[in-house]
Each structure stands twice: as structure tokens, then as C-alpha cells.
Amino acid sequence: MTIVAVTETEYRKAPDIFEAAASGGLKCISAPPDEAELARTITATGASHAIVGIQPYVGPLYAALKRGAVLARFGVGHDSIDKAQATAAGLLVTNTPGALDDSVAELTMALILAAARHIPTVTRDTREGGWRQIVGVELRERTLAVIGCGAIGCRVARIASRGFGMRVIGVKAHDTNRERLMADFGFDSIVTDLAPAVANADFVSLHVPGTPATRHLLNAERLAMLPAGAWLINTARGSVVDEAALYDALAAGRLGGAALDVCEREPYAPADPGRDLRALPNVILTPHVGSSTRQACVRMARQALANIAAAQRQDYASMNIVNPDVLALLTNPTTPG
């Protein structure tokens, strides 16, 4: 029986799937998410592979797993994994593309609706004995700028345009497949520059990966491009937004508000104690729950386990490998490392 260490947060999201994996020869055990403790658990139990969540892993984990092991992300983003260290150690880093697209897209629309109708504010007021009927806006004919036209951004565009009658402008780094994306997902237009996309936007939704190139993509200069009254929605990665600059824009009334499911530091902690987004009434914060639906968690668990099972068979072509350079180390015994 092959032992797979699954960080406990991820294990709790799909326990039935992880327990059932034993019938296929994979014994999944719940393990601490802290890197040092996870590494010790892997060593103590002889775990051959690991499934991990969003927490950053910077050192001990890569030494604890043996060459050829799978370090599987329970999700799509893999910025929390040091691919260089993993490759040097001969570890296959995998993710679960497509498993959470619908869940994140639906949360994005939920946050847009919550902002448009002031749902957090009126809920809080009503609980406290008030009865303020704050006037919101309908989404029909409002403009949504979708920054990043990948799988999730495209789903958001389709729901917004065809479900709510919004005008959707996409921002895509490369001007390719524009006509197909417009036809398939309801984009009104797709551009390569941020400024024209957000110039008249009522809502701006971020759907780009967390990479060095996208760090603080929404900085003070670009936040100033958004119209007064616009809402910023982020269900992508916290690193994409300069939270101090966002605080300043919100506190000064230059933006309508922000709805954030992701933060630079999770659990949320302000980079500057004097700029705590939780203190602002026009901020909606959720605890990185974009992929936390029963259906998405089942899909992610199954896909992570399928990656491990494929590695056991050395069927690398069937895996979602995000550090493909490691294959040269595993398939060519003369390759250094």
C-alpha cells in the first residue's frame, strides 16, 4: 500500500474520496499543513507522495519526499510551490486544472451581486435592529472588465453577459483567439491594454495567476485608472493587488469598494497596520473560499489522486505536471541531479 500524506485542511474537504483511495492502493493519511511538521510526518510514516493546499512551502518538504514522488497541489495555482527546488529534488509537481473553474466563477458573480446590492451592509444593519433600504444597482447594462481571459475569466464573462445582460470587456495579454472567445463567452470586446478596458467599468474582476510578473499588477497607478464608484473584485491571487494602495484609494473615496476572496497574507493581516482593509465599510472579505464547494473539492481530490496513480505507473503523459523539466531527470539516468 502506497502512503499519501494529505494536509488536513484538504483532507477534510473530501474525506470520502481520500478514504476510498485505499481500494486502489493509495492509503491517504491526514497530515499537518505546517511544513516542518508535514516533512516529519512524511519521514515518520514513509509517505511516498503528498497532496497540499495553498500554504507556501519553501524548504524541508522537498527533502522529505523521495525522487520521483508527486507533490500534488489541491487546486490550480501552484505559486506556493518552489518549482526549482522540486525539480532539483526530482519531484513531480502537479495541479488540478479545470476542477474549480465553475466554483470560482460563481463566487465571483456572488461578490459582484453582493457589492451591487450592498448585501453585507444591509444584512449587518438588519441584524443590529435597523431597516435601511439602501438603493443598489441592477447588473443589466453595467460594464464588467475581466482581467485575464483564461478558463475562469471566460466563465465569469459568460455568466455575466448571457445570464445578467452585462457588457463584458476582456483583457488578454496576447491578441489571439479574440473572435472565438467573444462568440463563445459573450465578451463585448477583448483588448490587450488595461486602461481602455476599465475606463468605464462598473466592476473590475481579476483572473490572472500569481507570478512575479503579475505582482501588484493593480498598483496605485493602475487603480487610478478605475472610475470613481467602480468595484474591484479579486478571486485570483492576493499578490496581484497592492493592498496598501487599494486601502488609500478606498479610504479617499476614489473607488466604490472592493470584494476580495484572496489576500497577500492569509489569514488576512494588513501589510501596514494603519491600512487595515477590515476597517473600511466598502470592503467585502471572504476567506479564500472560491474553490470551496463540495463538487469542486471532490473533483480536485480525484484529480490529485489520479496524478499520483499515473506517476506510480510512470504514465507521465497523463499527469498535470507544472514543472516539466523534472522529466529529464526522471527519464534519463545520465542527466545530472
Active-site residues, by number, are 237, 266, 288
- Specify whether the backbone of 253 is left (phi greater than 0), alpha (psi in -120 to 50) or beta: left
What is the CB-side half-sphere exposure of residue 325 using CA atoms within 13 A?
9
Question: Do 170 and 190 contact (CB within 8 A), yes or no?
Answer: yes
The amino acid present at 82, given as its one-letter code, is D
Cite the DSSP H helix spans in the chain.
Answer: 8-13, 15-20, 35-45, 60-64, 83-88, 101-116, 119-127, 151-158, 164, 178-185, 194-198, 220-223, 243-251, 294-312, 326-331
Please report where in the chains the cell 474553490 appears, as a residue.
291
Grid cell, residue 178, equals 479574440
Rounded Cα gap, residues 198 and 283, in angstroms = 19
Reduced to 3 states (helix: H, G, I; strand: E, B; else coil), residue 245 is helix
Question: Do 125 and 77 contact (CB within 8 A), yes or no?
Answer: no
Q: Beta-carbon neighbour count of residue 151 at 10 Å?
A: 17
Reduced to 3 states (helix: H, G, I; strand: E, B; else coil), residue 174 is coil
Grid cell, residue 248, equals 488609500
